[in-house]
Structure 1
Amino acid sequence: APPLPAPPFVHVCILLSPLGSSEHDLDWKFCGTWRHGNDSLMLNVNLTTGCSEISVSANKSSLSIDGQITAQCRRSDRIALGKFGLESQEETPFCLYWEPILGQLKLQLNHKKENLILCWPDRMQCSCCTDLSNGAKADEATYGIKDGMANTDFITEKIMTAYRFKGAHIKCKSTITVYLPPALKKAAKLSSKVVCTFFKTTPCSRVLDDVVEITVENEVIVDLSEPIRIGFHHAKMQSRRCVSWDTRRDPSQVNWLEDGCETEQKGAKYTECLCNHLTYFSVLVQMEPRPVRHLLALTAITSLGCAVSVISCVALIIYLCRKRLRRSKEQSIPIHLGLAVSLAFLNLLFFLTGVLANVGGESVCPWVGAGLHYTLLSSFTWMGIEVFHTFWLVYMVFTPPSKVIFLPALPIIILAAVGDIYGVRKVVPSDDVSNPYLMCWMKENHEALLAHYFTTMTILAVLVSSGIVMLFLVYREIRTREEWRQSRVAFLSIWGLSCLFGTTWGLTFLDFGPLSDFVLFLSCILNSFQGFFLMLRFYMLDWIRKQAGGSALGSTSTGSTRQHMLQSQEKS
């Protein structure tokens, strides 16, 4: 790049690439009015990857969106529209929005009152499926879509059964402008030459493919009194932030940081970065949290389960304390008590987290989030002790640790000292992205994500794997005993052991694929009602033992001696 003139050291460097709005209209919008009946209405979604065409069709009872225009999104679903109150009207205006650079497809009903995310933002796309043009015409009908309009082009006022649009691959490009302030002249002591270098990043990532390097020859420029302004024109995107790459820290590692830069989002297609130093600059796209389907139903199940589990854990604690006062010789009672107390506080905090997040916000949530994390790790720890207690019963008498309650506190104290880990967390429902559910938990930043994986997920993985192995070993030992062949005893025992060993939490790792909704509901039910299931098992086995005339059968959940675990026949 040529040197800039010395006085007054104010200049604008411009990189002109073919912008979406000049050659290609990247973002696409189709609007119309759906004429339908007054019966139950459905939305049919059938999307696969590729770039061929998209079809929007409608009849008396359903609105359908089919096609191949996405890079990552696959979805086949039927969504009931009853809660939107569309049956009370004969016509419903709607708009379908396609943002190809992020792969997001969104449907808005009733003049933007209701939002449905059909394909969630994934990552920056190098190649965009856009340039959607009118395809084959469909038939006219009594029920269908009228007043069809693609972007600003009106198509027809007739009621059509379907509209089809063909897509094409293009390269996603942008434009960059750089403003150099007079303060840079004062900071540059040895030279008046500024070099602006523009280049593309490969492969595509969350960073815009356009990057600009701004340098003064043989000088390091930092802490400018007036910031450099770098403007990025890009395709439409909702959330982004300015970042820079400091090569002095480690030239071999590309670490994009926000240090020294402020972000001004001036519209959905323009971002201005205000930075007080010279280096490499770009814009990092912030992916919004993936919306949760059926959030209302999952929240209701969880709230009910947590309330029932708190009451059940309190009852179980009373039961175990009374049993301990009778000087029972069962060594597993302290472990069961520790788990019951941890689960009680875990369910109580989770039940109240939504209320506390809405009332207290950031002033309360760091404490509540840390407490929730502690009780979760504490519950996992006691479940792990249940596993190892059962294992050691095979070889030796095991004395439960008395100070295990302090073990989960160590990582919580460290994370709290690091800061910016716990706070308000937004859970976005897929059927109403403008009304997120607030809870107190870990924040949505890089540090919190690492903390989540290195503490919660790591401990959970160890717990679930060891629990499944121990559950199999226990079942292999007890399945030949005569009294264990009774179906209700076997069910309650194995079910209770699975809860004690934490194996139900293993469903967390199966939340993907076509069965993700089923797994999510099953995991929600099993884990939120875990305290109730444990209480039920203890009481039922105690009742069965009394019915059997005081037999040792079922007197303990994991056994109190090696004989309880290994002997094929027990004597009263």
Structure 2
Amino acid sequence: MKGGMADRLKMGVFIIMLLSVAASDEHDLFLEFCGKWRHDNSNLSLNISVSKGCSGITVSANESSLSVKGSVTAKCKRMEVIPLMKYPEEDLDFCLYWEPLLDQLTLEVEKESFILCPPSSPAENCCTDLSLMGIELDSRYGIADARVRTDNVTHKTRSSYSFQGEITNCKKLCDQANQTYVKGSQNTQHPCAQKFVKEIKKAISDEKVSLKDTPTVSIPSTMKTKMKVENKVSVTFFKNNSLFQVGYEEVQLLNDVVEITVENEVIANLTEPISIDFHHNLLPWNYKRKCVSWDTLKDPLKVNWLVDGCMTKRKGAKHTVCECDHLTYFSVLVQMELKPVRHLLALSAISSVGCATSFISCVAVIIFFCRNRRRSKEQSITIHMGLAVSLAVLSLFFFFTGVLGNVEVESMCSWVGAMLHYALLSSLTWMGIEVFNTFWMVYMVFRPSPRPFVWLLIGFGLPAVPVAILSRVGNIYGVVEIVPADDISTPYRMCWMNMSDQKTILAASFTTMTMLVILVFSGVIMLFLVYREIRTRDEWKQSRVAFLSIWGLSCLFGTTWGLIFLNFSPLADFYNFLFCFLNSFQGFFLMVRFCMLDWIRRQASKSVLGSTSSGSVKQHMLQTTEKS
């Protein structure tokens, strides 16, 4: 008896609190009623009976159905029984949301939302201040652990809860909502929807609709031919309505949602599309954007955004244009382009070992050429040493970039990213010089090649120009996160170019990618020309010489970097491993090539004395090339 008396006392105090809030100047802008639905695991269903008015709403439950009945809406009317499938046998969590400023009623059952009344623009009067007025007695089946917003009502199981509303001027509610929204309160998630109504007559030009801080809608003049009678076109702009969201963290909508309708008509298959111009906050360039629409006729109970009938035009990081051939709700779906990398740990291990080995190998190559430079007058030694130095610097910076990327100093990573970019451009430039030098030796035999200081100026000076310009622009170099496919919560951090906006993508394309494309194609062409030139010689018949020639020239000409363009399914993993292995160990392969060719040359010198002391350069192209 004492427990029942205490429950009734708490209930009375709770109802008095709700009534006092409703009687105050501040109106309750929305209703959130939640609880647990206890049922008997039979065929479950939702029983919906919603009509226009403001007499109130009742939420009840029994062993097989959860019912929402009453009149609270301004425009919506729905009577329907919705079967529920694929739910667990235990109690079901549910919440009923009423948004008077949107005339929207939503029921959420086990995180699945059912749009009982779709959002619309505010009417003249709104049904708000829904107060708890009645609770049925205890029941075996019904609603348990009921709460209104964050206030608990009772933990006992009741068969039904009744709420009574009051008619309030919608403009007054809108003013209150906008004030609350400006203050940053969490009581509401949106200001009022803004509606524009235009009567379409025999227009000879497109109609443009735009309100303050809203997208711009262009209605084509040809839409008149799709209308049966002269009706009014309604354009409603919604802001920050979380109930439009799709429910996935990696995919989100813009804040703006636009509804375009014609009274009592369905407009589709327009010959000239509707254009909706969205201006939004800065979106990283690698985030996919898709113009989407919600077809309420196909799926009226759930928000289902589809790309059908819409075309997306990206006009910049803050501007997206949608062109659609029908009328309904429209927005822009933003997909965060994480691009998780498979086998990232293994690839990182191969890169680290390869870069460390290449650095040591390049240092050995530099020492080898420094010793031979005194007794050899070959100008190609300068080119080989330049390539070895640039590869050594590239391997060193890439080896430490993962460590420095986790240092909490942004300026440090910006500096390392710029140096890594410079080393990469310098390496590609020296490979291009190798291509040009080989071309000169094969086809310009009787003309002296440019002096060594020219190659040094080009190989080390030219790459510094774009890096200096990009560093001056700012926000190009920094920390980059690479997401592993097996654990997206722990990304791999490194210092590189921050691929987050358009200017960085353009910088990477016009520097690294452009040079890489030119290098790979010119390297392949030159490799073919060299092969055609020396394949008939006696030295070429030695298989090891042929193999080392092709393999070494492939490394010198940068053709192994061409594997980056083959990164697509179904062999993407294979190409990733092959690309990582060949290019991280590139310095080691060059050392092996030069050492083996030096050993072969020494063996040949012992067997045929003076074989390389006479004859033209073109006649001994293979020996000259391998020697250099």
The TM-score with structure 2 as length reference comes to: 0.50
The question of 1:214 aligning with 2:265 is answered no
1:506 is matched with: 562
Distance 1:364 1:569 in 2: 42
Distance 1:544 1:358 in 2: 46
Distance 2:388 2:624 in 1: 30
| Partner SS state of residue 212, structure 2 | strand
Distance 1:335 1:198 in 2: 72
Deviations 1:116-166 (A, max 9, x none): xxxxxxxxxxxxxxx9998xxxxxxxxxxxxxxx565679xxxxxxxxxxx
| Partner SS state of residue 514, structure 2 | helix
Distance 2:247 2:29 in 1: 23
1:425 is matched with: 480
| Partner SS state of residue 425, structure 1 | strand
Deviations 1:161-183 (A, max 9, x none): xxxxxxxxx99x99699977469
Distance 1:564 1:213 in 2: 76
Deviations 1:513-541 (A, max 9, x none): 21111111111110000000001100110
Deviations 1:185-205 (A, max 9, x none): 9xxxxxxxx954599xxxxxx
The question of 1:381 aligning with 2:418 is answered no
Paired residue type of 1:215: K
1:147 is matched with: none
Of 398, 402, 421, the residue aligned with 1:350 is: 398
1:390 is matched with: 438
Unmatched tracts of structure 2, length 5 or more: 1-25, 31-81, 92-113, 123-173, 183-192, 199-208, 215-237, 258-274, 284-302, 304-319, 322-329
Q: Contact 1:424 / 1:443 at 8 angstroms: preserved in 2?
A: yes
The question of 1:298 aligning with 2:347 is answered yes
* Percent sequence identity over aligned pairs: 55
2:240 is matched with: 230
Distance 1:255 1:282 in 2: 8
Distance 1:301 1:562 in 2: 40
The TM-score with structure 1 as length reference comes to: 0.55
Instruction: Go from structure 1 to structure 2 and tell me whether the alpha carbon gap of 1:174 and 1:290 turns closer, same or farther (over 3 Å shift).
Output: farther
Aligned residues: 360
2:7 is matched with: none
Distance 1:383 1:512 in 2: 26
The question of 1:322 aligning with 2:365 is answered no
Distance 1:382 1:302 in 2: 21
Instruction: Show the 5 A alignment for 1:305-316.
Output: 305-316=354-365
Deviations 1:380-409 (A, max 9, x none): 000001001111221132124231111111
2:141 is matched with: none
Of 349, 359, 377, the residue aligned with 2:407 is: 359
Q: Contact 2:121 / 2:195 at 8 angstroms: preserved in 1?
A: no
Of 537, 549, 553, the residue aligned with 1:497 is: 553
Q: Contact 2:539 / 2:622 at 8 angstroms: preserved in 1?
A: no
Instruction: Go from structure 1 to structure 2 and tell me whether the alpha carbon gap of 1:569 and 1:175 turns closer, same or farther (over 3 Å shift).
Output: closer
The question of 1:409 aligning with 2:439 is answered no
| Partner SS state of residue 582, structure 2 | helix
1:58 is matched with: none
Q: CA deviation at 1:286?
A: 4.2
Q: Which has the higher contact order (CA 8 A, sep 6+)?
A: 1
2:326 is matched with: none
Q: Contact 2:352 / 2:399 at 8 angstroms: preserved in 1?
A: yes
Q: Contact 1:315 / 1:535 at 8 angstroms: preserved in 2?
A: yes
Q: CA deviation at 1:231?
A: 3.2
The question of 1:516 aligning with 2:513 is answered no
Distance 2:399 2:482 in 1: 15
1:525 is matched with: 581
Query: For the pair shown, which has the larger CA radius of gyration, 1 or 2?
Result: 2
1:258 is matched with: 281
Q: CA deviation at 1:481?
A: 1.0
Q: CA deviation at 1:548?
A: 0.8
| RMSD, aligned CA | 4.7
Paired residue type of 1:234: Q
Q: Contact 2:480 / 2:494 at 8 angstroms: preserved in 1?
A: yes
| Partner SS state of residue 246, structure 2 | coil
Instruction: Go from structure 1 to structure 2 and tell me whether the alpha carbon gap of 1:440 and 1:259 turns closer, same or farther (over 3 Å shift).
Output: closer
Instruction: Go from structure 1 to structure 2 and tell me whether the alpha carbon gap of 1:132 and 1:528 turns closer, same or farther (over 3 Å shift).
Output: farther
Distance 2:602 2:194 in 1: 87
